[in-house]
Each structure stands twice: as C-alpha cells, then as structure tokens.
Structure 1
Amino acid sequence: MEADTETINASTHSNHELSEEDKEKPTVADNSDDGKLRTEASEAPRLSAASDSDQNTQQPKDVITTRTLRGFKWFLAYSSLLSTVLFYALDSTIVADIQPSIIETLGETEKLPWIGVGIFLGALTVLPIGRAYGIFNVKWMFLSLVVLFELGSVVCGAAPTMNAFIVGRVIQGVGASGCYSGAITYISMTTTTRERPLYLSGIVATWSLGSVVGPVIGGAFAQSKATWRWAFYINLVVAAVTAPALILCLPNIDPAKELKLKEKLRTQDWIAMVIFLGGSTCIAMALTFGGTVYAFNSGQEIALWTVSGVLLIAFILITIYHPTVPRKDRLYPLHLMKSLELNILHYALFAAAGTMVTTLYYTPLLFQFTRNDGALMAGVRLLPFLGGMIFFSVLNGVLMPRLGYHMPWYVLGTALMLIGSSLMVTINTTTSEANIYGYTVLLGGGCGAYFTAGFSVVQSIVPVAELSNAISFMATGQTFGQIIVLSLGGSVFQNVAVKLITQTLPNVSAEDAIQLTTGTSSSAFEALSADHQSQVIEQLTRAIRDVFIVLVGTSGLGLIGSVFLSRRKMY
C-alpha cells in the first residue's frame, strides 16, 4: 500500500509569501482504493487576518476531496494512530501519583520535578520531528519513533538510579512526541478539511482518557506486587497488540520522494536543532532547579539563565540569517509569527496544555494530602476532569465544522480555565470534594473546548506547503506549555511548601521539608506527630493552591488574546 503525495510537501520546495488574500483555486484530487493520493493545487490559501468584508468570500477548498482509506482499513489505521497518542498521554501522567514510590526506590528527592518534566523536555523534539515529517517517509519515520518510545519505557522500568530514570523519560518524550505529531500529520494528510476537526477531536479524547487513566494505572501498579516499574513495561504489551495495524494499514506517504536520503538530510537545520534543544534544556533546568537544587542567587542558577538567554538570541539570529540553510528549510517557521491569528492560537494551546498537565499532577497530590488517598484512589479523583475535557473536545469536533466559527470556542475555553483555576486558588483542607470536582470539570472543559481545534484551524489559513510548519508551530506551543507551566508550578510548589513548613516547624530541615512534599507515605511525614502532620498538610495545601495562581495568569492572558481572533467563518 503506497500513497503518493505531491502537494503535501509540507516544508520542502515552496515558500509562499504571506498576504492578506484568502483565496484558493480549485483543487483536483484523485484517490484510489489502494491508498494512493494524488493532489494538485495551483494556489494555496494565504495567511489572513480576514476583515469583515472577507467573511462571505469563498472558503478554501480541501486539498483532498475524499479520504484515501475507508471502511475497516480506515478504522484500523485510525485506531492504531490513536493508540500511539495513548502512549504519550499515559506516560505523561502515569507518574503523577507514583512519584513517592519512585523516590522511595531511587532516592534524590530534589530531582522530583524531573519525573514529570523529563518526558516533556524530550517532547521538544516535536519541532524538528514535525519538520522531518514534511520531507522523510512518514510511515517509516513514525514506526521508528514508536520503537524509540518503547526503548525509553524499558530504560525507565529498569532504571537503577534517578539519573537513568530521567534519561529514560527524555527518550520516551522524543518517541512519544513523534507519535503524537505523526498522528496529527497522518490525519491531516488523509482527511478533508470539513471532517478533520472531528477526527482530530478523537486525539484529544484519547489524550484526555490516557492522561486521567495514566495515574490510575500507575497507582494500581504501585500498590501491587508488580511495583511501579510495570507502569512502564506495560507499554511493550500495548505496542505488541497495535503493531500489526500500524505496519499493515498506515499509508506509505513520502512527501519528497524525488529526493535521495542525503539530499533530505541536507535540508535539515542541524545547527538550529542543537541550539534550540540546548536552550530549551537550560530553561527547563533553571525553572525546575531554582530555589530547590540551586539557590536563586547561586552561580549555577545565574549561569543557567545566562546560557538560556545567549542561546535564545543565537537561535533567533540563526533562524533569520542562517547562511547555509535556505529559508524554507530553517527549523523554526518564524514567518508564521507575522500573523496575529497564529500567535494567538499558538499561545492559547500553550495555556491549555499547561493547565491540563498542572491539573493532572497536582489534583491527585491534593487528595493524597487532604483525604489520605492511596495512589489508585488519587488517580480516580481525576475522572471529573476527564469527563469535562472529553465532553467539550467531542462537542467542539462535532459543532465547530458545522457552525464554521472557531473564535467562540477559544473565548469559552479560556474563560472556563480562568474561572476553574481562580476557584482552585480558594481551596483549603476543608473544601468539599464536590466543590473540587466542580472546579476540575471547569478546567477540563476549558482545555477540551479548543485543545485540538488549533491544529485544524491553522490548516485552513496557511498554504498547503506550510502544513508541516503549521503543525510543528502549534505542537511547539503545546510542548512549551507543558514544560514551562509545569516547571514553574513545580518550582512554586516546592519553594512555597518548604518556606511554609520550615516556618511552621522550625526544627525540620529544608531537605526533610522537600521530602514532605512527595506525599503522606514518605518516611519524613510518617515520623511526624499527628498534630504536626495536620499542620504540614495545611501548609502543603496552601502551596498547591498557589500553583493554580500560575494558571490564573496564563488562562487570563489567553482569554484576552482570544477576543482578538478572527470572526471569519472557517468552514
């Protein structure tokens, strides 16, 4: 089975100038039953901020007029793609409530935030991987990244030290982000514009399901004889089940089949990749280690921020003035930032992704402290959040293409996130479970209202040749949201918690105070008297509450930005 795509050559041979026009000439598609896809587009739609007079003009037509795969083969292909998204979702959150078990086995409590941040740091490769999907064989690259994810899972499961575990998490992140962006790329390449939002909503529904089931599965393993290590080994079982469909049903798409391997490799912006990933790592380390591993005014912390700044400047300069790489092949699609619309969509996804992972990590911890939940029950507490996210994501996928407008969904989503996070800032140890569930439903609904909408919207306002760039642009916003907001939240939690605990219990060292943040099952917590335990729980709850102040800020900015989105009918 082979699919030949001539115009889905996302970032290789054409570089359209941005304009204010929003027209596209008719597209011709020839789709055969064996999965071959042939498209011709004489002109792609341009980026547009669309004035009111443009709203009634002809909307961009599909690059393809019908899906290349149908029936049972499409079901298997689509299901297998969702299964790889499930990989990423499960392992992004599976550690949310088994962190105490991992720390108990591997030690090094000060590296606690890296248990969650590690996978998202690896996921920053979504930018170069997204670019690569526009030029290398999509199927074989996708399958290679699935294998890489499984390798990372094995490293995590067998890790003898915390450093080895973190390396495994980073490897998982590289593979998982490739699976995630690959699933979006495949769906974008094989569906029409009108049906695409519905199929992309399946990704966010799967993501939501996996993100919430992840802590439940992790908690179940942590409390069983299998131990937390099987929370990672289980990925091998899932991969074995889905491998036949991945290998046999996914279409074989080569966007630049006329280029040889060496020519394809030369199109990659290797220098920019090194600078981008190095700078991103330094920023994550500075945010995560500040105030816990390194003092804010320490030489190490200052050095991390300094190097981050230098590499950021270097990345901007090399993106603009790179002497050896053509503009169309440069790593970051800087030209997309000329569009206010795309910048708002990019930031909105940043805010939603940060809200989602922060809620997923700190809601179980809240219930572990205030309700003395075990790992399994703490994961179950996330089900209301799951319900809100899935309901609104499917509602968006069904209604947005029919109604045609995307702006209201962004206003609704960011408003719900702002309300939900503001309410979470009011919690204390006596806040009822029903209230907390209600707050998390609002947060989940806000994320789901537009989480994958951006991926389909940007494809309606960029040229066909910019498809891969647009997906990478959005996916980068999502990944940075997960890293920066979660890292910042982790830094706030640990710093505030240590400060409050040491003020309440002066005899507790800063090191023991950090260990107290891992949960009620830690040896440091169990050694306290009942009265001191109650005081610690109260202070930790206040620290968790402060984490959601970060979400108030990010969602508030998102709400302001969403008001300026285009009112143009997109579908």
Structure 2
Amino acid sequence: MTVERNTADVGHEKLQGEERRTSETTLPAEEENGKEIAETPKSQTPSDDSAPPQKRSITGLKWALAYASVLSTVFLFALDGTIVAALQPSIVETFKTESDLSWIGVSFMLGDTAILPLGKAFGKFNIKWLFISCLFIFEVGSAVCGAAPTMDALIVGRVIAGVGGCGVYVGGLTFVALLTTDHERPLYLAGIYCIWGIGCVLGPIIGGAFAQSSATWRWGFYINLPIAAVFAPAQLFCLPAIRPQPDKSFMERIRSLDWIGTIVFLAGATCFSMALSFGGTEYAWSSGSEIALLVMTGVLFIAFVLATIFHPGVVAENKLLPVGFMRTADLITLPIQSAIVAGAMYTSIYYVPLLFQFTKSDSALEGGVRMLPLICALVFFALLNATFMPKLGYYMPWYVFGNAAVIVGSALMFTINSKTSAAHVYGYTFLIGVGVGCFQSAGVAVASAIAAPADVNNAVSLMTIAQICGVLASLCVDGAVFQNLAISKISSVLPGYSESDISSLTAGTSGSVYQNLTSAQQSAVVDAVSDSIRRVFLYPLAVSASGFLLSFTLSRRKLYLAEGKVAK
C-alpha cells in the first residue's frame, strides 16, 4: 500500500498585518505500491468559508494506537527527566560521590540540547525511522544507567538517554503537528503536554518507590525497557513513514545539515551547564577553571549567533536555527514563553519533594506524592486551554493569566520556612500548576498555525529547544543557588564536618550522615535547607515576571475562526 502525502499551505495570517497565504492541507491518499508518505506540494487554493475542513487520513483504531504510542514515549522521556529527583540520595549512597550530585539531573538535560539538530533532522529524513532510532538510543542510555558500575558511567548513560529522549519528544510533536488539523491540533498537543507533565510529576513518586524497594534505584532506569516493548508494535505498524524530502538522496540531506552550527551550539550548551553546575561547588567562582568556562560560554554563544546570521556554507533554510521564518513578533515571543514555563515547572518538581523530605520527614515516595496538587492543576488547565482556545480564538489572555498565576505561586513559595504547613505549600504549588497548564501546551499549536506550512517543522523545533533550554537553565541556576546556599548555611551550623558530609546532607534525609546527627543538629540542617529551597523560587518568580510583561506583546487578534480554519 502506498501512501502519498500532498501538503499545501495551511491558511494562516501573519499577525503583524502581512497577507496570509491560505490553502487546504490533506493527508494521504492511498495507492497500491510503496509504503511511505512523500510530501509533494499541491497547487494553492484560496480559502473561503465554504471550504471543507481539513481531515485526518489516519483515523479510528489505527490513529488511537499511533497516538498512544507517541504518548508512551513522551511519558518515558518526562519520567526520566525527574525520576532522579528521588533517586539521588540512593545513588550518592551507592557511589559515594557527592560532588557529582548536580550532574545526575543536568547530564540528562545536557543530552536534551541535541533536540535542536534532531528537530532539524526530522525535516529532512524519514520521520518514522528517525523517531524509532531515537527511541532505541533512549533505551540504550536507560540500560547503561541501570547497569552503571560508577557515577561516571551513570552520567554518560544519562547523556545518551537525553539525546534519544529529546529525539522521541520532538518526533512525537512533529507527528502530531503533521497529522492533525489546525482546529484539533491544540487538543492533541495538550494531550502530549499533559502526559509530559504527568510523567514529570510521577518521576519522583516512581523513583521514590524504587529507592525504597528491594529492586533498588537501578530499576528507576530499567523500567523504560518493558514499557517501550509494549508499545513497539504500534510504533512499527501504525505510525506513517513520512519522507519530508523524497527528491533528495541520503547524502544530499546529510550534506545539507548545518554541522558548524550544531557543533558550536552543543559545545556552548556544555560549557554553560558546566559553568553553572560547578560554580561555587566544584570550583570557586573566582577560580581560573570557572572563569574559563564562563568565557567559553560567551565566546561560543557569540560564535553561534554569527553562524546563525551568516550561515557559512549553508543556505538560509538549512541553518540549525532558521530565524528567517520568525517574521512576526509572536514567533519570537512564544519560544521565550516556552522556556519560562518549563523552568518554573521543573523548579517545583525538583525542590518541593526535597522540601517535604526535610520538613515533614517524608520518604522519597511520600515527597513525590505531595506534587499531586500541581499536576492536577496542570492537567485540568491544559485541557481547558486546548478546549476553549480554538473555540474562542484568542491565545494572548492565556499567557497573561498563566504567567500571573506562576508569579503569585512562586512569590508565596519564597515566603516559606521549615514550619510552613503542608496545606499552604499545596496551595502555592497548585497556583504554579494553574499557570503552567494555561499556556504550556499552547505554544507549539499557535506557532505551528501562524508559521508558514514549510516552516512547521522549524516552529516545532524552536519551541522544543526553547523548552529544553528553559529546563536546563532552571536546573543549572537552581542547582547553583541551592548548593551554594545550603552548603554555606550547613557549614556554619556543623563546623566540624567535612565538605563531603555537608554535600551529602543537601541530597536528602535518608543518608547515614543525617541520621547520625543529634535532634538539634537535624533541626538546624532542616532550617538551612528550607531557607535555601525558598530562595530557589526567585528564579521562576523573576522569569515569570518577564513572561508576564512579554505576554502583552502577543497578538490580540483571533487565531481560529471556525473548525478546520485559521483566522484570515
């Protein structure tokens, strides 16, 4: 059976007063030979109110299985990003390397920075088989982490899993963006982001369960393997094999990639994460090593900007970051908002369970369960956004209200101390969940609708790399703030303890060092850690305040007019 894809320009309006190009998009008509979808342009047809709405070609059980298989990979990707929040104390106890603590979380996000070149690759190579290849890499990384004999091996496995995981994430978003109509896309994207949010919040819960069980923390990584095996048949037989550039050979597509931009970007991301993760812990901020990392970060950032502007040896449309398609202010603002909301969410997911471990003597599992108010708010408001944004047509108000809710929730979290009741923390994190849910899933849907049809893949890639960079920035900044403050405060109340012992105290209360402290010493440590966690929420407060101001620059015009149509 051959499936041949005809792609035409989806009707859209450039929201800065530019004329919209409009046409109908169809997905595939079936023929007798071959098995792939090839993108070939149709002649453009002016849109009008009598034009039939777009239709999905993949429907019924096949679509349900295909979508479920995509959701499964997004869930595993999200789960792997936060499961170590509860596994960290057990891992540190196993390897006795407290100095590498921050790398357990950062290494996965460092691998995730490959999402930008991988997102570009999804616009050039067979989407199905690239998606499956990334899933294989993710599972290999998970197996390496589970079997890791040393902390270094675990960190390497986390990077590998991050590379594969971000590939299946952006691949899943690309599938949904290509296989759904403009009107239904927000709902299906909301499903992806809800699953992502659920996976992020369940990570500490599942990790805590494994950490306390006889299976040990290693099954926190091994669990990915059987889940992936269950959904493998649906991925192999239900997902269509879409070829974005069927007229080009494999080597032509390889040569068209922006290798210079890719190398510079990945090197800069590595230096950035190392500079913030090591600053004040591994290296003094004034040390030569730390200064060298900061300088290299700046130099590589400038080099990436220059490579993006002048794209040496690469035509404009093949640049790693094809900023040429960002022709409206909204296509610049939306990725920034994506980075902001992702960072706010991860700050809560990583540090609220840790707060409860210290202040309420929770186990890792119990600390993770206390994140349920946030996830319930996130899921409810994400579905609310997906339902009403296409019907009402406006998207700017969701960003205004969402950022405002995160600001209030983060500001309230900044007031906590070791005596703050659990009910108050639930309320504060619920507000953060409300804000995140309001616009977390809206960005990809809106960017895909207002970008030119040929640039939908670029829009998806830009939104996802912004999200990953937002998470990486939050983990690095939050980690640096927390580690520096906590170590300094704990050192002042436990002057006779080694740096190694003090570092282990910041990981949780299950370690032997904390258990051997007197009641008075434990109380002093709890106060120090609580105050450090309180200050971590300055990051989401500051970035959400910026997002709130930026949200007023978004278009106030309707994006959607009727089912299957984008505003003209």
TM range (shorter): over 0.9
TM-score, length-normalised on structure 1?
0.93
Which residues in structure 2 correspond to 1:232-247 (within 5 Å)?
232-247=221-236
Partner of 1:366 in structure 2?
Answer: 355
Against the structure 1 CA distance between its residues 76 and 194, is the aligned structure 2 distance closer, same or farther, given a 3 Å change threshold?
A: same
Q: Is the 8 A contact 2:108 2:162 kept in 1?
A: yes
Which amino acid in structure 1 is aligned with residue 22 of structure 2? K
Q: 1:180 aligns with which of 166, 169, 173?
A: 169
- Structure-2 separation of matches of 1:484 and 1:335: 25
- Structure-2 separation of matches of 1:318 and 1:36: 33
Against the structure 1 CA distance between its residues 82 and 30, is the aligned structure 2 distance closer, same or farther, given a 3 Å change threshold?
A: closer
Q: 1:296 aligns with which of 260, 285, 288?
A: 285
Q: Is the 8 A contact 2:7 2:27 kept in 1?
A: no
SS in 1 for 2:26: strand
Against the structure 1 CA distance between its residues 357 and 69, is the aligned structure 2 distance closer, same or farther, given a 3 Å change threshold?
A: same
Q: Is the 8 A contact 2:111 2:159 kept in 1?
A: yes
Unaligned runs of 5+ in 1: 11-16, 46-56
Which residues in structure 2 correspond to 1:153-232 (within 5 Å)?
153-232=142-221
Q: How many residue pairs were aligned?
A: 552
- Structure-2 separation of matches of 1:98 and 1:296: 28
Pair 1:32-2:29 in alignment? yes
- Structure-2 separation of matches of 1:18 and 1:430: 50
Which residues in structure 2 correspond to 1:108-507 (within 5 Å)?
108-337=97-326, 339-507=328-496
Partner of 1:4 in structure 2?
Answer: 4
Q: 2:65 aligns with which of 70, 73, 76?
A: 76
| Per-residue CA distance 1:189-218 (angstroms, 9 max, x = gap) | 010000000000000111111111121111
Which amino acid in structure 2 is aligned with residue 269 of structure 1? D
Q: Is the 8 A contact 2:9 2:24 kept in 1?
A: no
Q: Is the 8 A contact 1:44 1:462 kept in 2?
A: no
Q: Which runs of 4+ in 1 moved over 6 A?
A: none
Q: Is the 8 A contact 1:37 1:68 kept in 2?
A: no
Partner of 2:566 in structure 1?
Answer: none
- Structure-2 separation of matches of 1:96 and 1:477: 22
| Per-residue CA distance 1:527-549 (angstroms, 9 max, x = gap) | 22110110110010000000001
Which amino acid in structure 1 is aligned with residue 530 of structure 2? T
Partner of 1:23 in structure 2?
Answer: 20
**How far did residue 338 of structure 1 move?**
5.3
Which amino acid in structure 1 is aligned with residue 274 of structure 2? M
| Per-residue CA distance 1:339-360 (angstroms, 9 max, x = gap) | 3212221111111110111111
**How far did residue 226 of structure 1 move?**
0.7
Against the structure 1 CA distance between its residues 211 and 2, is the aligned structure 2 distance closer, same or farther, given a 3 Å change threshold?
A: farther
| Per-residue CA distance 1:228-259 (angstroms, 9 max, x = gap) | 00111111100110000000000110011111
**CA-based RMSD:** 2.2
Farther-moved stretch of structure 1 (551-560 vs 18-27) = 18-27
Which amino acid in structure 2 is aligned with residue 250 of structure 1? L
TM-score, length-normalised on structure 2?
0.93
Partner of 1:53 in structure 2?
Answer: none
Q: Is the 8 A contact 2:9 2:23 kept in 1?
A: no
- Structure-2 separation of matches of 1:497 and 1:548: 14
Q: 2:92 aligns with which of 91, 96, 103?
A: 103
Partner of 1:513 in structure 2?
Answer: 502
Against the structure 1 CA distance between its residues 151 and 8, is the aligned structure 2 distance closer, same or farther, given a 3 Å change threshold?
A: farther
Q: 1:542 aligns with which of 531, 547, 557?
A: 531
- Structure-1 separation of matches of 2:234 and 2:521: 55
Pair 1:565-2:565 in alignment? no
Farther-moved stretch of structure 1 (81-90 vs 505-514) = 505-514
Q: Is the 8 A contact 2:2 2:30 kept in 1?
A: no
Against the structure 1 CA distance between its residues 28 and 133, is the aligned structure 2 distance closer, same or farther, given a 3 Å change threshold?
A: closer
**How far did residue 511 of structure 1 move?**
3.2
Which amino acid in structure 2 is aligned with residue 175 of structure 1? G
Which amino acid in structure 2 is aligned with residue 343 of structure 1? I
Q: Is the 8 A contact 1:31 1:38 kept in 2?
A: no
- Structure-1 separation of matches of 2:8 and 2:217: 43
SS in 1 for 2:553: coil
Partner of 1:49 in structure 2?
Answer: none
Percent identity (aligned): 48
Farther-moved stretch of structure 1 (78-87 vs 23-32) = 23-32
Unaligned runs of 5+ in 2: 561-568
| Per-residue CA distance 1:69-97 (angstroms, 9 max, x = gap) | 00011000000000010111110111111
**How far did residue 323 of structure 1 move?**
2.9
Partner of 1:523 in structure 2?
Answer: 512
| Per-residue CA distance 1:31-81 (angstroms, 9 max, x = gap) | 436896877455699xxxxxxxxxxx989x99x811120001100000000
Farther-moved stretch of structure 1 (35-44 vs 457-466) = 35-44
- Structure-2 separation of matches of 1:117 and 1:532: 30
SS in 1 for 2:106: helix
| Per-residue CA distance 1:452-507 (angstroms, 9 max, x = gap) | 11101011211111111111111111000000111100100010111111222322
SS in 1 for 2:223: helix
- Structure-2 separation of matches of 1:339 and 1:167: 40
Against the structure 1 CA distance between its residues 120 and 44, is the aligned structure 2 distance closer, same or farther, given a 3 Å change threshold?
A: farther
Which amino acid in structure 2 is aligned with residue 242 of structure 1? F
Q: 1:553 aligns with which of 529, 538, 542?
A: 542
**How far did residue 510 of structure 1 move?**
3.3
Which amino acid in structure 1 is aligned with residue 223 of structure 2? I
